[in-house]
Amino acid sequence: MEILFLGGTNFLGRHAVGVALERGHDVTLFHRGSRSDDPFPETQHLHGDRDGGLAVLQGRTWDAVVDTSGYVPRVVRQSVELLADAVEHYTFVSTCSVYSDLGSERVAEDGKLHEAPSDSEDVSEHYGGLKVGCERVVEEGFAGRAFIPRPGLIVGPYDPTDRFTYWVRRIADGGRVLAPGSPDAETELIDARDLATWMLDMVERRATGIYNAVGPNRVLTMGEMIETCRTAAGSDAELVWVDE
């Protein structure tokens, strides 16, 4: 397949591109070209900006597009409208943060969603709601041709955040470590490499629809997660559980 990645040089996108190349697909990366290193020199790189700088994509066609970098509906609409007749299948990576109630109950794909804000593009304040708006734009522009995974906490190599890696590093440092709530509290995460592999499986099948993407396929507690970090690091860290 000929696959266009909107992004593809960081974290999940980087892993997905790696899987695509391993499977022999022809990959094109569209990004700003701001990285000092090039993780995929063998691929075609097209430089531009998602917000008003898509001209380099005009007049080209691909079998599929994988969008790992869409956060604002107005911006996502630009790529959707430009690629509607140039691409057969659109994968938009969303998030479980679209759900408005992530309490103790299990949340299925038809769970209640945040309202998409009409007067704000502040991703830090309205991340979930803006992703809801992005999903709707993709579903409208690629009706019957859109695949939307909603991952939970993504972890693994090249993670640019401190959300999970904090625990790995802090436990490895040893000493007394604050731990939130109860060791029996349930948590979920998914390895970026597993998510990328599954996403490419779905792209190759031209799968459509919305799917939660979390793991593992059993109950994982906060206590087990932290204990696993401690075992892997050979750490003598002492956990101090405190109220959240």
Band of pLDDT at residue 8, cut at 50, 70 and 90: confident
* Residue matched to tokens 């959707």: 80
Q: Which tens digits make up the pLDDT trace of 114-155?
A: 999 999 999 999 999 999 999 999 999 999 999 999 999 999
Q: Which tens digits make up the pLDDT trace of 176-219?
A: 999 999 999 999 999 999 999 999 999 999 999 999 999 998 99
Element holding 148 (H helix, E strand)? strand 146-151
Spatial neighbors of 17 by CB under 8 A, at least 6 apart, are 5, 8, 9, 27, 29, 39, 40, 43
Distance CA 93, CA 77 (A): 14
- Decide: 148 and 212 in contact? Cβ < 8 Å: no
| DSSP conformation letters of 218-238 | S-EEHHHHHHHHHHHHT---E
Band of pLDDT at residue 104, cut at 50, 70 and 90: low
Name all domains of the chain by residue range, CATH numbers in brackets. 2-157+189-215 (3.40.50.720)
